[in-house]
A = this chain, B = another copy of it.
């Protein structure tokens, strides 16, 4: 696969169809993979993929539309947010590297700051300062607290003015590794077991590196679920995560009912699990017929 960046741009409208369509249309130069709106959060995630320059340009186009159409002074929603264009993460895919994603984040940050007048904080791998790595820290105080935060010398934005855009607030632009939302459903209605397994499995409490996990209840199915983000599935493959959950569940005699993978995932992650379970020796990526044909086109 050539150099590609995925961008999961989050903007602060999940209710007005006209706005959502207009913003998705602004990304029509690249491949839009998903437009997922949540009315309660009043927020939309627009996922698109393209060569680095095109993905970065599309992010600026969509942002310009969002700044024009969304007034944060009117915005209400459950999800934390600080701007009309709230978050723009770039994710390297194929031959693209993290440096490509960071370069795109910086370029987009400068365009938003200089051309659209929106203060920009660089976060995660693109962060210029360690205390801006974590998105939750960057967004603390949300839109309503922005003016005070930007007056703080520790929170001079990386690009753009030192005051909020009057209607669009501020934007966090970053770079991160591709993550997989991966859920494992257990044959029990006891959510405490899912919570206990989540603690056993996640990095923070002694489990697998690169795994964030919590136990939740799927009410409509009366099943407990270990709900996970695998934040670096290239180093912590899905089969290892599933088998670790299965192993922990076995001590309670509870089988795995099924799993869920949300959104698109790169072929290489599928092949990793395929090779493991089928025990295939020396299976090459180019043995996938479509991959070969796709590379040729």
B239 and A49 form a contact (CB under 8 A):
no
Residue A208 at the chain B interface, CB threshold 8 Å: no
* A 260-297 binary contact with B (CB < 8 Å = 1; else 0): 11011111001101100111111100111111111011
Q: Which residues of B contact A297 (CB under 8 A)?
A: 294, 297
What would 10 more interface pairs be, CB under 8 Å, given A258-B280, A259-B279, A267-B290? Answer: A4-B293, A31-B293, A93-B289, A185-B281, A258-B279, A258-B281, A261-B287, A265-B289, A266-B288, A266-B289
B33 and A278 form a contact (CB under 8 A):
no
A279 and B31 form a contact (CB under 8 A):
no
Most buried by B among A31, A257, A278, A291: A278
How large, as a class, is the contact surface on chain A? 35 or more
B265 and A287 form a contact (CB under 8 A):
yes
State the A residues within 8 Å of B (CB).
1, 4, 6, 31, 33, 49, 93, 185, 238-239, 242, 256-261, 263-267, 270-271, 273-274, 277-283, 286-294, 296-297
| Assembly CA distance A95 to B293 (angstroms) | 14
From residue A293, how far is it (CB to closest CB) to chain B in Å? 6
A264 and B280 form a contact (CB under 8 A):
no
From residue A95, how far is it (CB to closest CB) to chain B in Å? 12
From residue A179, how far is it (CB to closest CB) to chain B in Å? 13
Q: Which residues of B contact A290 (CB under 8 A)?
A: 1, 266-267, 290-291, 294
